[in-house]
Amino acid sequence: MLSKSDFGKDFLWGVATASYQIEGSIDVDGKGPSIWDTFSHKKGKIKNGDTGDIACDFYNRYEADLDLLKAMNLKVFRFSISWSRIFPEGTGNVNQKGLDFYHKLIDACLARDIQPWITLYHWDLPQTLQDKGGWANREIIDWFCNYVETCTKAFGDKVKNWMVFNEPAVFCILGHVLGIHAPGIKSIPKFMAATHHVCVCQGEAGRIIRQNVPNANIGTTYSCMHVEAASKSLNDLKAARRMNALLNRLYIEPALGMGYPTNGWEALSRLEPFIKDNDLEKLPFDFDFIGLQNYTQMVVKAAPAPPLMWALEESPQKRKVSEITEMGWEVYPEGMYKIIKQFDRYEKVNQIIITENGAAFKDTPINGRVQDLQRIRFFRNYLRNVLKAKREGVNITGYFVWTLMDNFEWAEGYHPRFGLVYIDYETQERIIKDSGKWFARGFDI
């Protein structure tokens, strides 16, 4: 048995979402195109040819969707701002109608006693900025700071909880090395440039929020997973060490004042050409909390190729693990505990929030009901591991489910369903799944 109250009365329970995955209305009220609008319309990039054109139509349905959140007794709504709604061209003229939408959304949260938590960047860069080189162009530091300045000045009197980035490792690696996410680039130098600019922006944005938002609670989020070597061989252990540096250390350690983790992965010396005078001082920022987003673990073995990393994932299918989600990810609840402990070992991490965790399984509505027992079991087991770390003294103050409702899952399209709420994409009908009801009643009580 597990209950919400085990986590204490001040523990925050919420859901996380992202603009492109839910909003739709991609070209209304003056919004400019983002790299995800462009990428999803390219042939063969997204499964089934899906796009975020309509998504959950959240742009028009946010009031009713916040009612669902309320019905599930969840207090926090984490959402991201679409940069190209505010600046259709990335910089220059502010689009008042874009600001108005987020004002209305924030007001609708506050009216329901739901806390709005803003992510400033959840992957949908304005296309005009990508046309100038995007994250690989150093000018992005100015573009991003200008955007952050505008958002914090506009919303800072109403919103106290801010996150700079969603998962830098994912948009840098999948977008700039593997090319499977927008902007679809495959280039190690561009990845290195983007990574450094993201890390400078991370610190600079933190300082802008601190200056513009009174009593702000400032964080940023990291994708993270326990990395296990496939064997005890020295080569596998070294490969796991490199992978850990890339996946778990690269973006947080500069923020903590530790510099880049070249001691874990020598190839990070290739960041050097992009590091200009005084940059290193701009990397650290005292975040109030660190958002951890965990889904699975990775088992790694040494590989003769590809170069640079010399490491390959041993797939869950090959390892014949007992449970795999619709994303092909291993269900590994102990990994949640292990990764929390790993991040807690950083002296400067004072507070951890699980800003995303969840699972995609096949959901079938039967007579208006979605009995997603497998997802309930997933939450129960992952939450037990959060609780274990908390009871050992880690300062974990909240847990946000990925996600409120089924939505556009990037390159995978609409097929994986992560929501606490089921969406019929034909009719946009919403059904609270049994897992949503489980959260509503405070678990197995």
Binding site for ligand FCB (CB under 6 A): 18, 21, 166-167, 170, 223, 293, 356, 402, 409-410, 418
Catalytic residue among 23, 204, 330, 356: 356
Per DSSP (E only), the strands in 304-416 are 311-313, 352-356, 396-402
Nearer to ligand FCB, 274 or 410 (CB): 410
Query: Widest CA span of the chain, in angstroms?
Result: 63
Nearer to ligand FCB, 213 or 353 (CB): 353
Nearest-approach distance from CB 256 to ligand FCB, in angstroms: 21
Nearer to ligand FCB, 163 or 271 (CB): 163
Catalytic residue among 167, 204, 253, 409: 167
Nearest-approach distance from CB 167 to ligand FCB, in angstroms: 5
- Given a contact cutoff of 8 angstroms between Cβ atoms, the answer to whether 414 and 48 are in contact is yes
The continuous run of DSSP H or E covering 430 comes out as strand 429-432
Nearest to 400 by CA among 115, 15, 1, 3: 15
Nearest-approach distance from CB 273 to ligand FCB, in angstroms: 29
Alpha-carbon gap, residue 419 to 424, rounded angstroms = 12
Nearer to ligand FCB, 101 or 410 (CB): 410
Helices 96-111 and 58-71, axial angle in degrees (round to 10): 20
Helices 333-344 and 373-391, axial angle in degrees (round to 10): 30
Nearer to ligand FCB, 124 or 236 (CB): 124
- Given a contact cutoff of 8 angstroms between Cβ atoms, the answer to whether 363 and 417 are in contact is yes
What does 372-391 look like in DSSP terms, one character per residue?
A: -HHHHHHHHHHHHHHHHHHH
Per DSSP (E only), the strands in 217-350 are 217-223, 227-229, 289-293, 298-302, 311-313
Nearest-approach distance from CB 386 to ligand FCB, in angstroms: 17
Q: In whole angstroms, how far apart are CA 380 and each of 3, 373, 432?
A: 9, 10, 18
- Given a contact cutoff of 8 angstroms between Cβ atoms, the answer to whether 66 and 76 are in contact is no
Nearer to ligand FCB, 25 or 223 (CB): 223
Q: Is 167 a catalytic residue?
A: yes
Nearest-approach distance from CB 49 to ligand FCB, in angstroms: 19
Nearest-approach distance from CB 392 to ligand FCB, in angstroms: 26
Nearer to ligand FCB, 343 or 418 (CB): 418
Nearer to ligand FCB, 363 or 409 (CB): 409
With a CB cutoff of 8 Å and minimum separation 6, the contacts of 137 are: 129, 193, 197
> Tokens 């770390």 — which residue?
389
Per DSSP (E only), the strands in 27-114 are 76-80
Nearest-approach distance from CB 305 to ligand FCB, in angstroms: 26
Please write down the long-range contacts of 386-394, taking CB distance under 8 Å and 24 or more positions apart. 386/7, 386/336, 386/337, 386/340, 386/354, 387/2, 387/6, 387/7, 388/337, 389/336, 389/337, 389/340, 389/341, 389/344, 390/7, 392/341, 394/340, 394/341, 394/344, 394/352
Which tokens belong to 256? 């903590």
Alpha-carbon gap, residue 49 to 43, rounded angstroms = 7
Nearest-approach distance from CB 202 to ligand FCB, in angstroms: 16
Q: Is 356 a catalytic residue?
A: yes
The residues carrying an active-site annotation are 167, 356
